[in-house]
Amino acid sequence: MPHYVFVCQDCHKDFTEVLHISELSTTRVKCPHCGSEHVEQQYAEFSAVTAKKS
């Protein structure tokens, strides 16, 4: 699952959301810091954390 990095346009903090690609257009992402929906997607980050191979 990709992590999407957003930046809040109100408080200018960034945060990540784990969303399925199909959720991107339907989900209203809220800033966890101030609750604003005025957020901008920066980029998608494919987490390496779950990609452990032994």
Site residues (vs Zn ion, CB under 5 A): 8, 10-11, 31, 33-34, 36
- Nearer residue to Zn ion within complex by CB, 20 or 33: 33
Cβ neighbors of 14 (< 8 A, separation 6 or more) are 5, 6, 7, 8, 42
Structure tokens of 16?
């990540």
As measured in angstroms, the least distance from the Cβ of 31 to Zn ion is 3
- Nearer residue to Zn ion within complex by CB, 20 or 40: 40
Cβ neighbours, 10 Å, residue 42: 12
As measured in angstroms, the least distance from the Cβ of 3 to Zn ion is 18
